[in-house]
Amino acid sequence: MAAETKLFGKLKTTEQEHEDPKEQLMFDPRPREELNRMVMEMMTTTTRKFWLWAIGLGAGVAVLLFGAWGYMISTGMWVTGLRRPIYWGVFIVTFVFWIGISHAGTFVSAILRVFKSEFRRPFTRAAELMTTFGLAAGALYPLIHLGRVWVFYFMVPYPNARWLWPNFRSPLVWDLLAITTYLLSSTIYLYLPLVPDLAMARDRTTGLRHTAYKILALGWRGTEAEWFRLKKAIQIFAFAIIPVMFSVHTIVSWDFAVSQVAGWHSTIFGPYFIIGAILSGVSAVVTILYVLRSTLKHMDYFLRPEHFDALGKLILVFSMSWAYFFFNDYLLGWYGGEAAVRQILTLHASGPAAWVWYTMLICNIVIPWLTLWNRKIRRTPWLMFIITLLINVGMYLERYTIIPLTLGHQRTPFDWGVYTPQPVEISIVLGTFCLFTFLYLIMSRLIPLVPVWEVQEGQVAHTLRKVGKAEVPSVTELD
């Protein structure tokens, strides 16, 4: 303890001398029982506003998503804005958007765990939950966009009377398998660290909730052996899920890259999509953290400006990486000199939908580069909320540029076309946003959104380590 206090003193003399160490969650510990109580209260407090939102979003899901989808199934795809030659529209755009968001949720949790970034502790679960529900919203689209959704199971490999397997050379089948893999592995990765918290909730509830937590906690008692195995499992999953995330989002990019469509057929699409997914996903984490912080009781204790600060730095780095890949994609497309590709790139920047392209660049590059270098801005949660929301607008427009705008201007100008999303499509897209928010809202009252045992572990067991000029808390010795 004495050594720690001495290190504390040192911290004050470094560049962050104006900052009170108590501002950091790790240096502002509270008793274990107090933390448990806070998390339980967070989970069980429901205000009138909460119910109004829940009912509103539930109605949104019922009407905007399932109502509009049902209408589209019963009348046909003519209600969309699709027309020759643009056969994929906002459904696939939103699909890629949700899959991108969901990929980064687990990724950011896993990568920070692997690199032992201690600031991750209070928000890993919020990020992982975003993955699960992002996938739930995104995985609907491969069904929604089908012309005949009632025979979607033709894509599923199962022994059948037709003696037919799906075509394993089709990227759509790869997609199906990849997304299923990711959904399963990310759900397990969400569930593993949840077990001790479920046990904590089990011991503090009665009635139906108690029974549910009892089943889900798998009889967790907190013995040394249990902790050992749990940590081992989490460690394995954290390492394993990173390559899974990379491969799955590469496969999503292959939907486009393996085709011969001019503007899609690009070798850089794999990493380009991954970096885009991470940029939009990490931004979405910040957006969600802001909402959680301002709506959930006691959340402002767990989520602090330091977390927005750290994630803001990450976003700046990813925005720069995204710009690098974007530049590469365009530069080599232009340098390659294929007439169709050059035409498309020119039309992106000067065609009738050029505003989409410029808005994308402003949201993804100009705004983060102008704001996120500033520590004050990074530490202002509401500003971060707006910036990250804008980044996701930009990322949505990026996918919009890649899909309908590119399809509209292929090799033969005689077949060029313009696509405008129609009300039914827009309604379904808004419906999945309602679905995501609705599921998240309900889940925030069902499971502890803060991994309270991880926070406790960090607060109790950290030491200080020097990384460059800064000194950061570290619990490496514990593992």
Partner 1 sequence: MAEVSKGIAEKWGLVVDQDRCTGCNACVVACSMENNVPFTGEDNVAFGRGTYWIYNKRMWEGNYPEVAPAFQPVMCQQCGSAPCEPVCPTFAAVHSEEEQINLQIYNRCIGTRYCANNCPYHARQFNFEDPNIPEPMNSYLNPDVTVRRRGVMEKCTFCVQRIVAGRQTASAEDRSLRDGEVMPACVAACPSGALVFGDLSDPNSRVSQMAQNERQYKLMDELGTRPKVTYLKGGGRNGG
Which residues would be at the binding site for partner 1 (CB under 8 A)? Answer: 76-78, 82-85, 87-88, 145-149, 151-152, 154-155, 164, 166-167, 169-173, 176, 255, 258-261, 407, 410-412, 414-415, 417
Tell the smallest beta-carbon distance from residue 136 to partner 1 (Å). 21
End-to-end Cα distance, the chain: 20
Q: Which is nearer to partner 1, 92 or 315 (CB)?
A: 92
Tell the smallest beta-carbon distance from residue 80 to partner 1 (Å). 8
CB atoms within 10 A of CB 188: 12
Helix (H, G, I), strand (E, B) or coil at 465: strand
Q: Which is nearer to partner 1, 138 or 196 (CB)?
A: 138
Which 8-state DSSP code applies to residue 61? I
Q: Which is nearer to partner 1, 59 or 149 (CB)?
A: 149
Percent helix, strand, coil in the chain (nearest 5)?
75, 5, 25
CA-nearest of 185, 91, 96, 89 to 143 is 91
Distance CA 367, CA 394 (A): 10
Tell the smallest beta-carbon distance from residue 432 to partner 1 (Å). 19
Distance CA 444, CA 202 (A): 16
Tell the smallest beta-carbon distance from residue 142 to partner 1 (Å). 8
Burial of residue 48 (CB within 10 Å: 0-12, 13-18, 19+) is: exposed
Q: Which is nearer to partner 1, 155 or 442 (CB)?
A: 155
Helix (H, G, I), strand (E, B) or coil at 477: helix
Tell the smallest beta-carbon distance from residue 82 to partner 1 (Å). 8
Which residue type is seen at 370? L
Distance CA 208, CA 395 (A): 42
Q: Which is nearer to partner 1, 179 or 475 (CB)?
A: 179
Which 8-state DSSP code applies to residue 41? H
Q: Which is nearer to partner 1, 152 or 228 (CB)?
A: 152
Q: Which is nearer to partner 1, 420 or 476 (CB)?
A: 420
Tell the smallest beta-carbon distance from residue 325 to partner 1 (Å). 23
Tell the smallest beta-carbon distance from residue 178 to partner 1 (Å). 13
Q: What angle do CA 374, 378, 381 make, to 5 degrees?
A: 150
